[in-house]
Structure 1
């Protein structure tokens, strides 16, 4: 599993992460929720190795991630940041293929089969030959998702793997948001893969994720099964809104409304 122990981060004299401790079990989809500047992106970047923590320890499958060489880390974890720039005239399939770069030993035929499966999961199979720069923002986002999914699936075919997604549903229409989360929900049940994804839509987290971490001002205020954590009482600790619920959805209103 992924284990965070008292992870802290300071930037320009400001506390960005304050003693975050949490576990992400293998074969589960974890949502990371909180307001803007709560520390979600920073936490994912620290776990991914893009930022060095100011304190604490991060381990996955018994490995201290801060001690794992970059080449080995690329074979254990994949990371999708909030934005991914690519100006080359690659088509969708070629961008997805970039995710397999750390796995030169995989036979081409097997690799193409993996890419086909990922493109279908991301609803990109019919766009496989389209040039990346000519895609819409949502299609480009799904293509970048396909790239990191190829990396994560290739890793999980050999050893337990970790997938980190920073707002993966950004630019996606409601249909493709549900397609993506349903696909991730199924993927973690078929592979030894832990997925941690920051989300903006609480109802998507409620519907598809196994666990939820709630961040507020760099502190983890709640963590556990999504059906328990995504309750009005817990959400009201993080969002300055009145949160109510029905049996199937959560509703937000301004205080006093």
Structure 2
């Protein structure tokens, strides 16, 4: 993977991670079109540049993260379903990540749903999220384990379905991204980049950990640093844009975009174009 390819993927991650359009789907497509989808570093890179996106949320909403323990308790309640379902369905999820057809189909289905979300939940006005609300938002977020669904879309709709207004639901979705993406990126970093077992980390096997870090190439480190920096900057702007756009216009335009992208991908697959994951 070249530096420019890494920058392109990082821009896509920053733009799409917090929008209801599926960042995973977009990066799978971009990597396939650039011909780097089969490189070992690509999948590691796609997950680990989420660190930069996470940091953008913490920086933008730093006051919320330092004012009381209540937010953390609600995030824990929402995060529990992801941990449990992700652990037990890990192999199935990995298999689905290998399918462009699944990604494209879910882009279309999710897009159709977004066309009607504003109408379905036009009376959602609650500005306070309870622990019960948080748990159910976490359940909705688990739908995003299917590539193309969108973690942002699933968790926001989970909030709207419980009467929570757009802005509050979107911001909680951003906050929930922090533990969710941190866990996913951390696991991928340890397992696939450092090639360590989780037990090595938990038992503080310093010699093995040090050897693993030393084995990482300087080029891979450069890619990850640049990717995270780019994703951080782009995500900062994307979050601000999304909150403003969502408050004024709702979800319909995102729905049309998802449908168009999904249909194009399905058409390419039907024509025999080799879109590999």
Q: TM-score, normalised by structure 1?
A: 0.27
TM-score, length of structure 2 as denominator length: 0.26
Bigger RCO (CA 8 Å, 6+ sep): 2
